Structure 1
Amino acid sequence: MVNCCGLITANKDPVPLKSIEVELEVRDHVATVVSTLNYENKEDKPLEAVFVFPLPGDAAVCHFSAQIGQTQIVAEVKEKQKAREEYDDALSSGQQAFLLEESEQSPDIFSLSVGSLPPGESASIRLDYVTELAVQADDGLRFCLPAVLNPRYQPLGSGGSGGVQVTSVPASLVPYSLSFSARVSSPRPISKVESSCSLDPLQYLNSEQTQATIKLAAGHKFDRDVELLIYYKDAHQPTAVVEAGQASAELGSLMGDPVVMVSLYPEFPQSVMSSVASCGEFVFLLDRSGSMDCPINNSKQQETRISSARDTLLLLLKSLPMGCYFNIYSFGSSYEHIFPKSVEYSQQTMEEALKKVGEMGANLGGTEILSPLQHIYSQSCIPSQPRQLFVFTDGEVGNTKQVLDLVKKNSGSHRCFSFGIGEGSSSALINGLAKEGGGHAQFITGTDRMQPKVMQSLRFALQPAVVDISVTWDLPKGVSVTVLSPPITALFQGQRSLIYAQLTGQSPKAAEGCVTVKYSLAGHPSQNQLRFSLKPAEDTGSTVHRLGARTLIRSLEMEERERRGQPDGGLKEKVVQLSVQSGVSSSFTAFIAVNKADGEAIQGPLVRRNIPISRMCIVKVNLCSFSTQTAMACGAPSERRKRKLCAGPVMTVMPKQPPRDPLLQLVSLQQASGCWLLDPALSAALGKTSEEVDKSKPAPVNSDVWATVLALIWLHGFKKDAKEEWELLAMKAASWLRSQNAPCLTECVEAGNALLGCSMQKDVLGL
Structure 2
Amino acid sequence: MRCHNSGLVTRNGARGKVHPIPLTEVSADVTWLDASIKVVLTQTYKNEEFKPLEVQYIFPMDDRAAVCNFVAEIDGRTILGKVKKRSEARDFYEEALKAGSTSFLVEEKTPEIFVANVGNLPAGRRASITISYVTQATMDEDALRFFLPTTIAPRYVPHGDNSEATKTIGAIEYSSFSPCPLKIHAIIETHQKALVKSPTHSIELLSKNMRSDVTKLFKTELALKGMSTDMDKDFVLLLKTPHQPRLILEKGSDSTIAAMVTMVPKFNMVETKLKHEFIYMIDRSGSMMCDKMEMAKEALLSFLKDMPRDSYFNIVSFGSNFSSLWKESQKYEEDGEYAVTQHVNEMEANLGGTDMHEPLVSIFKLKQPEGYARQIIVLTDGEVSNTEEIFSLVRDNCKVSKTRVFVLGIGNDVSHHLVNGIARAGNGAALFATLKESIKGKVQYLREFFLQPSLTSVEVTWAHSQAIPKPEMEEANGAIVTHKTLEGYGLPEVKKPERDCDLNVTDPCISVKNLPSILNGACYTAYCIYNNPEIIPVEIALSADSPDGRLEKAFPVKCEEVREGDIVHTLAARSIIRELEEELKETNLNKGDRLNKENIAIQLGIKYNIGSSLTSFVAVDEKGQMQEDAFIPRIVPSMMPKGYDGWRSGITPVKRTAHEKRIEPMYRTPRYTPRNGTYQAWTWLNTLTAPSGGSPLPHMTLEQIHERAARAGGVSGGARLPMFEMKCSRSKSKKPQVTTDLAEDEEKGKEDAT
1:616 equivalent to 2:642? Answer yes
Per the TM alignment, residue 65 of structure 1 is displaced from its structure 2 partner at its CA by 1.2
In 1, the alpha carbon distance for the partners of 2:71 and 2:225 equals 28
Match of residue 491, structure 1, among 518, 529, 534: 518
Q: 2:184 corresponds to which letter in structure 1?
A: F
1:747-766 CA-to-partner distances (Å, cap 9, x unmatched) read: xxxxxxxxxxxxxxxxxxxx
After TM superposition, list the pairs within 5 Å mapping 1:523-562 onto structure 2: 523-535=548-560, 537-539=562-564, 541-562=565-586
1:455 equivalent to 2:444? Answer yes
User: Residue 661 of structure 1 aligns with which residue?
Assistant: none
After TM superposition, list the pairs within 5 Å mapping 1:643-662 onto structure 2: none
User: Residue 142 of structure 1 aligns with which residue?
Assistant: 145
Contact 1:150 1:616 in 2 (8 A): no
Contact 2:172 2:669 in 1 (8 A): no
In 1, the alpha carbon distance for the partners of 2:649 and 2:514 equals 47
Return closer, same or farther for 1:513/1:624 CA change in 2, 3 Å cut-off. closer
User: Residue 317 of structure 1 aligns with which residue?
Assistant: 304
After TM superposition, list the pairs within 5 Å mapping 1:190-589 onto structure 2: 190-204=194-208, 205-206=210-211, 210-222=218-230, 223-232=232-241, 234-235=242-243, 237-247=244-254, 257-268=256-267, 272-273=269-270, 275=271, 277=273, 279-294=275-290, 304-347=291-334, 350-412=337-399, 413=401, 414-473=403-462, 475=464, 482=509, 484-507=511-534, 513-535=538-560, 537-539=562-564, 541-563=565-587, 566-567=590-591, 568-570=593-595, 571-589=597-615
In 2, the alpha carbon distance for the partners of 1:402 and 1:582 equals 30
Return closer, same or farther for 1:600/1:466 CA change in 2, 3 Å cut-off. closer
Per the TM alignment, residue 7 of structure 1 is displaced from its structure 2 partner at its CA by 4.4
Q: TM-score, normalised by structure 1?
A: 0.74
Per the TM alignment, residue 217 of structure 1 is displaced from its structure 2 partner at its CA by 1.1
Contact 2:319 2:351 in 1 (8 A): yes
In 2, the alpha carbon distance for the partners of 1:506 and 1:621 equals 57
User: Residue 173 of structure 2 aligns with which residue?
Assistant: 167
Q: Which has more strand, going by share of residues?
A: 2
RMSD, aligned CA: 3.6
Per the TM alignment, residue 318 of structure 1 is displaced from its structure 2 partner at its CA by 2.2
Q: 1:230 corresponds to which letter in structure 2?
A: L
1:95 equivalent to 2:101? Answer yes
For structure 1, which segment, 198-207 or 237-246, has the greater mean C-alpha deviation from structure 2 after superposition? 198-207
User: Residue 723 of structure 2 aligns with which residue?
Assistant: none
Per the TM alignment, residue 120 of structure 1 is displaced from its structure 2 partner at its CA by 0.6
User: Residue 658 of structure 1 aligns with which residue?
Assistant: none
1:435-459 CA-to-partner distances (Å, cap 9, x unmatched) read: 3322222111141022220122123
The percent of aligned pairs where both chains have the same amino acid is: 29
User: Residue 473 of structure 2 aligns with which residue?
Assistant: none
Q: 2:577 corresponds to which letter in structure 1?
A: I
Return closer, same or farther for 1:393/1:345 CA change in 2, 3 Å cut-off. same
1:283-332 CA-to-partner distances (Å, cap 9, x unmatched) read: 111111111004xxxxxxxxx21122112212212221222111222222
User: Residue 715 of structure 1 aligns with which residue?
Assistant: none
How many residue pairs align between the two structures? 619
Per the TM alignment, residue 434 of structure 1 is displaced from its structure 2 partner at its CA by 2.2
SS of the residue 1:95 aligns to? coil
Q: 1:472 corresponds to which letter in structure 2?
A: T
Return closer, same or farther for 1:21/1:602 CA change in 2, 3 Å cut-off. farther
Return closer, same or farther for 1:53/1:315 CA change in 2, 3 Å cut-off. same
Structure 2 unpaired stretches of 5+ = 465-498, 682-689, 695-754
Return closer, same or farther for 1:552/1:470 CA change in 2, 3 Å cut-off. closer
Per the TM alignment, residue 219 of structure 1 is displaced from its structure 2 partner at its CA by 2.2
User: Residue 739 of structure 1 aligns with which residue?
Assistant: none
User: Residue 733 of structure 2 aligns with which residue?
Assistant: none
Return closer, same or farther for 1:314/1:619 CA change in 2, 3 Å cut-off. closer
Q: 1:206 corresponds to which letter in structure 2?
A: R
Q: TM-score, normalised by structure 2?
A: 0.75
User: Residue 20 of structure 2 aligns with which residue?
Assistant: 14
Return closer, same or farther for 1:474/1:573 CA change in 2, 3 Å cut-off. closer
SS of the residue 2:585 aligns to? helix
SS of the residue 1:189 aligns to? coil
Structure 1 unpaired stretches of 5+ = 248-255, 295-303, 656-767
In 1, the alpha carbon distance for the partners of 2:653 and 2:530 equals 61
User: Residue 251 of structure 1 aligns with which residue?
Assistant: none
Per the TM alignment, residue 213 of structure 1 is displaced from its structure 2 partner at its CA by 0.8
1:116-149 CA-to-partner distances (Å, cap 9, x unmatched) read: 21211100111000001111122x1111111222
SS of the residue 2:262 aligns to? strand
In 2, the alpha carbon distance for the partners of 1:442 and 1:30 equals 19
1:348-382 CA-to-partner distances (Å, cap 9, x unmatched) read: 66555434323321111112212222222233333
Return closer, same or farther for 1:636/1:493 CA change in 2, 3 Å cut-off. closer
In 1, the alpha carbon distance for the partners of 2:350 and 2:188 equals 43
Match of residue 186, structure 2, among 182, 192, 200: 182
1:625-669 CA-to-partner distances (Å, cap 9, x unmatched) read: 99999xx9999998847999xx969999999xxxxxxxxxxxxxx
Per the TM alignment, residue 175 of structure 1 is displaced from its structure 2 partner at its CA by 4.3
Return closer, same or farther for 1:15/1:575 CA change in 2, 3 Å cut-off. same
1:147-186 CA-to-partner distances (Å, cap 9, x unmatched) read: 222112222212224322322223xx11422111001112
After TM superposition, list the pairs within 5 Å mapping 1:596-615 onto structure 2: 596-597=622-623, 599-615=625-641
SS of the residue 2:367 aligns to? coil
In 1, the alpha carbon distance for the partners of 2:516 and 2:157 equals 30
Contact 2:69 2:81 in 1 (8 A): yes
Contact 1:394 1:422 in 2 (8 A): yes
User: Residue 715 of structure 2 aligns with which residue?
Assistant: none
In 1, the alpha carbon distance for the partners of 2:524 and 2:141 equals 14
Match of residue 129, structure 2, among 120, 125, 132: 125
SS of the residue 2:165 aligns to? coil
Q: 1:562 corresponds to which letter in structure 2?
A: E
Contact 1:135 1:142 in 2 (8 A): yes
In 2, the alpha carbon distance for the partners of 1:244 and 1:549 equals 14
1:154 equivalent to 2:178? Answer no
SS of the residue 1:591 aligns to? strand
Q: Which has more helix, going by share of residues?
A: 1
Q: 1:219 corresponds to which letter in structure 2?
A: M
Per the TM alignment, residue 422 of structure 1 is displaced from its structure 2 partner at its CA by 0.7
In 2, the alpha carbon distance for the partners of 1:591 and 1:403 equals 29
In 2, the alpha carbon distance for the partners of 1:5 and 1:199 equals 24
1:107 equivalent to 2:111? Answer yes
Contact 1:7 1:15 in 2 (8 A): yes
In 1, the alpha carbon distance for the partners of 2:55 and 2:322 equals 39
Return closer, same or farther for 1:524/1:505 CA change in 2, 3 Å cut-off. closer
Q: 1:160 corresponds to which letter in structure 2?
A: S
Per the TM alignment, residue 215 of structure 1 is displaced from its structure 2 partner at its CA by 0.6
